[in-house]
């Protein structure tokens, strides 16, 4: 069953689109948050992008809460942040046209500081 709220397990990423669900905060550390879909319980790892750290990109977190809490503390979360970025790239082909529009709008707002423009 695909969740009608977050689209899990088919959906792996949520860019800062107006269609993105409002998740429930669980924890945050080192510029990343762990949130949960209130409908299906799927965990999502969110990273805020500029401007004003107000553009959230979410990636489905495949493990438990505990694993995220451990990994985000290692090297200020460096490994987790590169995992997050690589997931965004890996699943970019699954983005909808609405998603692509949201990313394009963010790219313009941030002068190319969205995760798809950065090296």
Nearer to Zn ion, 33 or 77 (CB): 33
Q: How far is the CB of 1 from Zn ion (least distance, A)?
A: 10
3-state helix, strand, coil in the chain (%, to 5): 35, 20, 45
Rounded Cα–Cα distance for residues 2 and 21 (Å):
14
Rounded Cα–Cα distance for residues 19 and 29 (Å):
25
Q: How far is the CB of 89 from Zn ion (least distance, A)?
A: 23
Nearer to Zn ion, 33 or 42 (CB): 42
Q: Which two tokens stand for residue 68?
A: 């995220």
Nearer to Zn ion, 7 or 115 (CB): 7
Which positions lie near Zn ion, rule CB under 5 A? 3, 5-6, 8, 37, 39-40, 42
Q: How far is the CB of 106 from Zn ion (least distance, A)?
A: 23
Q: How far is the CB of 70 from Zn ion (least distance, A)?
A: 24
Nearer to Zn ion, 37 or 47 (CB): 37
Task: For Cα atoms 116, 83, 98, give the angle at the middle one, nearest 5 degrees.
Answer: 40
Rounded Cα–Cα distance for residues 35 and 27 (Å):
7
């Amino acid at each position: 069953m695909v969740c009608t709220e977050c689209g899990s397990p088919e959906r792996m990423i949520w860019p800062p689109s107006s269609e993105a669900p409002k998740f429930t905060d669980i924890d945050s550390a080192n510029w990343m948050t762990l949130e949960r879909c209130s409908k299906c319980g799927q965990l999502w790892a969110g990273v805020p992008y500029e401007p004003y750290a107000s553009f959230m990109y979410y990636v489905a977190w495949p493990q438990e809460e505990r694993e995220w809490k451990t990994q985000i503390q290692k090297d200020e979360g460096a490994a987790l942040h590169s995992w997050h970025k690589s997931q965004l790239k890996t699943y970019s082909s699954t983005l909808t046209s609405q998603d692509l529009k949201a990313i394009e709008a963010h790219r313009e707002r941030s002068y190319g500081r969205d995760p798809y423009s950065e090296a």
